[in-house]
């Protein structure tokens, strides 16, 4: 299939390009590089030896989207482009609604003009909010606790309504749990521009000597070691879930949500231990108060994805830590030239 990948130069998008090309799909990237560098595509191209069409543009720019859709004529779109920092979303709510919600609307309108009717959407487990039961299944009530989460839920609603309004439209809503890890080549990985918000890149930067100490946000949760539990998913498994979603979308109609996780959960302490083992480095930690808005436990019931997408995670915790370490230690400044 011909797949347009918005946000394709980003962390998850870049890994997905490789998996799509490995399965024979033709890809085109549309990215404004607000959180990525063109060097990513240079690396992806050299890893794949494949053709990647690419356009620089913003998902809120309908003229530019028309140009790309006209030129590339995709069969499906994977929509990664968006903003993802929970804290920043509270400071800049209108910016988040504009990019994540208006951007999705603008893209859908452009797809309609081009006759493209299949979209795979980057949603998040954060749409669920405080668990009423665990693990979360897709029927769990949605009640996001952040602006970011609400932008994702609104985009899901728009996509569901859009898909219901025509017989041949498909929206696959992938609710990611906690993506971590890097490609086995150590050539592509997560490269946060500022201080990392997320646990794994923060640990990696401590291990490589860029930061002194990991702050553990709360050790008084009702969990075995008192720290938060999360369902970490290797980015290559996550990338493969998008390929499975593309295959599914070829024959499915309407909107359908899928949890993309492993069904397992690990604590902050588990992640630190796994990283120390993988890197051979000590990770100094300091316990600080809980981070506002954090939930004690997030864990997926990923059985729907297995049954309907024929997808399940295959990478374990050691692989998540080892691949992150390989990426971070071989690229201590990320994509920046040293």
89 binds ligand NAD (CB under 6 A): no
Nearer to ligand UDP, 236 or 298 (CB): 298
CB of 335 to ligand NAD, least distance (A): 11
C-alpha span between 52 and 26 (Å, rounded): 8
CB of 181 to ligand NAD, least distance (A): 11
Position closest to ligand UDP via CB: 228
249 binds ligand NAD (CB under 6 A): no
Question: Choosing from 55, 148, 221, 266, which is the catalytic residue?
Answer: 148
Residue 122 binds what, of ligand UDP, ligand NAD, none (CB under 5 to 8 Å, by partner type)?
ligand NAD
C-alpha span between 54 and 38 (Å, rounded): 10
Tell me which residues in 158-187 interact with ligand NAD (CB under 6 A): 176, 179
Listed ranges 41-49, 78-86, 205-213, 249-257: which one lies at the site for ligand NAD (CB under 6 A): 78-86
Q: Which two tokens stand for residue 112?
A: 């309609």
CB of 29 to ligand NAD, least distance (A): 9
7 binds ligand NAD (CB under 6 A): yes
10 binds ligand NAD (CB under 6 A): yes
Task: Determine phi and psi for 190, rounding to 5 degrees.
Answer: -85, 135
34 binds ligand NAD (CB under 6 A): yes
Q: Which of 27, 65, 78, 81 binds ligand NAD (CB under 6 A)?
A: 81
Asked if 69 contacts 76 with a C-beta cutoff of 8 angstroms, the reply is: no
Choose among 112, 179, 183, 14: nearest CA to 5: 14
Please indicate whether residue 148 is annotated as part of the active site: yes
- Ramachandran class of 93: left when φ > 0, alpha when ψ lies in -120 to 50, beta otherwise: alpha
32 binds ligand NAD (CB under 6 A): yes
311: DSSP letter: -
Specify the long-range contacts of residues 205-209, CB closer than 8 Å, at least 24 apart: 205/328, 206/283, 206/284, 207/275, 207/279, 207/281, 207/283, 207/325, 207/328, 207/329, 208/281, 208/328, 208/329, 208/332, 209/332
CB of 304 to ligand NAD, least distance (A): 17
Neighbours of 198 (CB within 10 A): 16
Residue 151 binds what, of ligand NAD, ligand UDP, none (CB under 5 to 8 Å, by partner type)?
none
Residue 199 binds what, of ligand NAD, ligand UDP, none (CB under 5 to 8 Å, by partner type)?
ligand UDP
Neighbours of 338 (CB within 10 A): 6
C-alpha span between 338 and 335 (Å, rounded): 9
Q: Which of 11, 55, 128, 258 binds ligand NAD (CB under 6 A)?
A: 11
Nearer to ligand NAD, 31 or 301 (CB): 31
C-alpha span between 71 and 73 (Å, rounded): 6
Choose among 19, 106, 23, 118: nearest CA to 73: 118
Residue 228 binds what, of ligand NAD, ligand UDP, none (CB under 5 to 8 Å, by partner type)?
ligand UDP
Please give the residue ranges that form the binding site for ligand NAD (CB under 6 A): 6-7, 9-13, 31-36, 58-60, 80-82, 84, 99, 103, 122, 124, 176, 179
Catalytically active residues, by annotation: 148
């Amino acid at each position: 299939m011909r797949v347009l990948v918005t946000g394709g130069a980003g962390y998850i998008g870049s890994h997905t390009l490789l998996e799509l090309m490995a399965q024979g799909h033709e890809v085109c990237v549309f990215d404004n590089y607000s959180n990525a560098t063109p060097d990513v595509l240079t690396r992806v191209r050299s890893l794949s030896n494949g053709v990647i069409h690419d356009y620089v543009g913003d998902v809120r720019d309908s003229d530019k989207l028309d140009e790309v859709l006209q030129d590339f004529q995709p069969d499906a779109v994977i929509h990664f482009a968006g903003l993802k920092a929970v804290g920043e979303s509270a400071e800049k709510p209108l910016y988040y609604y504009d990019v994540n919600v208006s951007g999705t609307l603008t893209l859908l309108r452009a797809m309609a003009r081009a006759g493209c009717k299949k979209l795979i959407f980057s949603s998040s487990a954060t749409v669920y909010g405080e668990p009423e039961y665990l693990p979360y299944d897709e029927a769990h009530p949605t009640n996001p606790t952040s602006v970011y989460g609400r932008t994702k839920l609104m985009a899901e609603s728009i996509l569901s309504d859009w898909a219901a309004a025509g017989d041949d439209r498909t929206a696959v809503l992938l609710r990611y749990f906690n993506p971590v890890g890097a490609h086995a080549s150590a050539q592509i990985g997560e490269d946060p521009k500022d201080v990392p918000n997320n646990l794994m890149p923060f640990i990696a930067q401590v291990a490589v000597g860029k930061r002194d100490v990991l702050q553990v946000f709360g050790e008084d949760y009702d969990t075995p070691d008192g720290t938060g539990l999360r369902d970490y998913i290797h980015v290559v498994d996550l990338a493969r879930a998008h390929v499975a979603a593309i295959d599914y979308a070829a024959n499915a109609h309407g909107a359908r949500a899928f949890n993309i996780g492993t069904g397992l959960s690990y604590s902050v302490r588990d992640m630190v231990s796994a990283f120390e083992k993988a890197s051979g480095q000590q990770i100094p930690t300091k316990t600080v108060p809980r981070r506002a808005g954090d939930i004690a436990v997030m864990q997926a019931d990923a059985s729907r994805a297995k049954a309907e997408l024929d997808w399940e995670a295959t990478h374990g915790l050691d692989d998540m830590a080892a691949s992150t370490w390989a990426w971070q230690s071989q690229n201590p400044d990320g994509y920046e030239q040293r």
